[in-house]
Amino acid sequence: MSDLRIAIILGSTRPGRKGKDVADWVAAKAEERTTAHYDLVDLVDNPLPHKRGKPLTSGLPEIAGAGFEPATFGL
């Protein structure tokens, strides 16, 4: 196997996310290859700084208008 390492990043942390099934499938397909080592990185298991109680900015993004889902922003 090569020393090449490739991360498969699962970026959604929302409740009811569908990406986990897709990421698991991609990881399984990738492991069939012998040209690199593949790691599944799930942001649920590796929270970003704003998910550790240290917001990167104050307030919500401008795109968060009426009808936004608070869980999307970790609220």
- Domain boundaries in the chain? 5-73
Average pLDDT, the chain: 77
Answer for the pair 43, 13: CB distance below 8 angstroms, yes or no.
Answer: yes
Distance CA 48, CA 1 (A): 31
Flag whether the pTM goes above 0.85.
no
The pLDDT of residue 50 is above 90: no
